[in-house]
Amino acid sequence: QAFRAAVQKELQHIRSQHIRAEKAMMEGSWLELARRGKPHTQPFAHLTINATDIPSGSHKVSLSSWYHDRGWAKISNMTFSNGKLIVNQDGFYFLYANICFRHHETSGDLATEYLQLMVYVTKTSIKIPSSHTLMKGGSTKYWSGNSEFHFYSINVGGFFKLRSGEEISIEVSNPSLLDPDQDATYFGAFKVLDI
């Protein structure tokens, strides 16, 4: 009985501490929002491939046709123009891209069985006209005619210091093999920290 009473008392003490901490945290959050006047939305973008305008061929191309306001695509406090995601606020951003390649035997024969499937995330600066590859990923794959279906997914991501006006774009090899689904081929960015 004494043990049970001691455990009950300790549990009540823990619960009351938890409730007080939770209340203080909530009040602090609301006070912070009230001081600012309105909630601040950090810049972010999630763009999905526009399947109606994917280039053909096997050469490296810049993908310029993305959705920014359809399906899962969304953009806030960033700009999308001419196939490029434009940074509007200086900061440290997390950039990511997921590119899926696929081929089914009913799509016809591949030009070659050895394929270099690559994605490049590129930054272009308008102030100093230059482009830099920030990330790349991929592999050389052997897609034989003996298989009915082939699939390969590349995912890259990293933190980068970006300035207002800089543009982010995506280049791929073998664009005719891109998977056009919004859950397969996409890229985006979100601000993590001010500079």
The per-residue pLDDT of the chain, averaged, comes to 85
Match 């891109």 to its residue by tokens.
Answer: 178
> Is the confidence at residue 112, as pLDDT, over 60?
yes
In this prediction, residues 18-37 reach a mean pLDDT of 53
Beta carbons within 8 Å of 13's beta carbon, 6+ residues apart: none
Supply 41's token pair: 């939305």
> Is the confidence at residue 103, as pLDDT, over 90?
no
Residue 59, pLDDT score:
84
Q: Which amino acid is at 135?
A: M
CB 178 within 8 A of CB 49: yes
> Is the confidence at residue 162, as pLDDT, over 50?
yes
Q: Kindly report the CATH number that applies to the domain delimited by 44-194.
A: 2.60.120.40
In this prediction, residues 131-145 reach a mean pLDDT of 90
Residue 28, pLDDT score:
55
Model confidence pLDDT, tens digit, residues 87-102: 999 999 999 999 999 9
Supply 89's token pair: 């606020």
Provide the CA 126 distance to its chain's centre, in angstroms: 23
CB 171 within 8 A of CB 31: no
Supply 163's token pair: 């300035």
122 or 40, greater pLDDT: 122
Beta carbons within 8 Å of 147's beta carbon, 6+ residues apart: 105
Model confidence pLDDT, tens digit, residues 32-86: 544 454 455 899 999 999 988 888 877 899 999 999 999 999 999 999 999 999 9
Full-model pTM: 0.76
CA distance 6 to 165: 63
Residue 129, pLDDT score:
80
Annotated domain spans of the chain: 1-39, 44-194
Supply 98's token pair: 């997921």
End-to-end CA distance of the chain: give it in Å, rounded: 59
59 or 165, greater pLDDT: 165
